[in-house]
Homo-oligomer: A and B are copies of this chain.
């Protein structure tokens, strides 16, 4: 049952001010290494699979530290290439209450990953050994060489019988040409994908679809089946999230599969670190599909995984299947001894 889960993506160094100070107040940072691919690959190892990352890291102490960190998370170093000179970084200042968290990026366009080309990766070997491969829309925004590697890798994995998962995740600040420039690249990826993470907003903004209905759920029910049909996608899943006035968050997951929608409850919960919750949700969907859960269980499992990820320090989900099942069952123990 242990599957080979491969993610393609950039490793970012996260440099976080501890506690609630600002960068102008503090003098220490906590660092870790993450990214959507890291999060998904690592989360899948916690769920019992073997996680791999296809990426490029500089051959210097920062690259060494990144690899040590990925290995600590259980990710294999086997598909990681060394080369280039820099590592993308982001600084995180935690918000509190009405004060929003802030992220400041270094110049990630010059990172080893974003300057790597197709020939830096051993595509054939990777494709031979992949059960599921995961891609993210943020990676798609980077550069032509990155997009080329991404598409070729998706194509090869599909040819070899692997499952392609694509998370539409769109970050406006990264696309100079905006939705117009992004659209065709997204469509290319969708056409090769078996499992897609998105919601109605992605359909409207990225794919330029129009909705008759107005509520989010109605728009979802209207547009997602069209996307699935157009691109011949096996399963589409995603979440609706909101921040409540008492600083708790709410999350409701959905999955569309075999022409049917499945929804989780709309859970409300306290949040310690919300970065990476979407990746935990994705991992829950992938694991549910691999494990043969019923769709209604898969979507609830994924939602619980997303909720637990918000209670974990750092970007990267750390919960096991048992822990997620227990949270899904709503069990709230005092202390687990």
Question: Which residues on A are within 8 Å of B, measured CB to CB?
Answer: 15, 18-25, 27-32, 60-62, 64-65, 68-69, 71-74, 77, 85-86, 89, 91, 93, 95-107, 110, 171, 173, 243, 246-247, 269-272, 274-275, 307-308, 310-314, 318, 323, 327, 332-337
The reply to whether A61 and B23 contact each other, CB–CB distance below 8 Å, is: yes
The reply to whether B25 and A99 contact each other, CB–CB distance below 8 Å, is: no
Copies in the complex: 6
- Docked Cα-Cα span, A314 to B85, in Å, equals 26
A–B Cβ pairs within 8 angstroms, 18 of them = A18-B28, A20-B272, A20-B311, A20-B313, A22-B312, A60-B104, A68-B73, A71-B71, A89-B89, A95-B311, A99-B312, A100-B334, A100-B336, A101-B334, A102-B336, A173-B337, A246-B246, A275-B335
Given contacts A27-B27, A86-B106, A243-B332, 13 further A-B contacts (CB under 8 A): A25-B318, A28-B30, A62-B104, A68-B74, A71-B72, A89-B106, A97-B271, A98-B308, A98-B332, A99-B327, A100-B336, A102-B335, A246-B246
- Docked Cα-Cα span, A61 to B85, in Å, equals 25
Considering only CB atoms, which chain B residue lies closest to A271 in the complex? B97
The reply to whether B29 and A171 contact each other, CB–CB distance below 8 Å, is: no
Considering only CB atoms, which chain B residue lies closest to A18 in the complex? B28
The reply to whether B68 and A335 contact each other, CB–CB distance below 8 Å, is: no
A59 to chain B, nearest CB (A): 11
The reply to whether B23 and A62 contact each other, CB–CB distance below 8 Å, is: yes
A20 to chain B, nearest CB (A): 5
A325 to chain B, nearest CB (A): 13
- Docked Cα-Cα span, A91 to B86, in Å, equals 12
Considering only CB atoms, which chain B residue lies closest to A71 in the complex? B71
The reply to whether B23 and A65 contact each other, CB–CB distance below 8 Å, is: yes
The reply to whether B335 and A274 contact each other, CB–CB distance below 8 Å, is: yes
- Docked Cα-Cα span, A249 to B299, in Å, equals 30
Q: A61-B22, A71-B71, A243-B334 are in contact. Are A272 and B27 (CB under 8 A)?
A: no
- Docked Cα-Cα span, A18 to B18, in Å, equals 12
- Docked Cα-Cα span, A77 to B74, in Å, equals 9
The reply to whether B25 and A97 contact each other, CB–CB distance below 8 Å, is: no
A94 to chain B, nearest CB (A): 10
- Docked Cα-Cα span, A20 to B62, in Å, equals 16
| Chain B residues closer than 8 Å to A246, beta-carbon distance | 246
- Docked Cα-Cα span, A272 to B97, in Å, equals 8
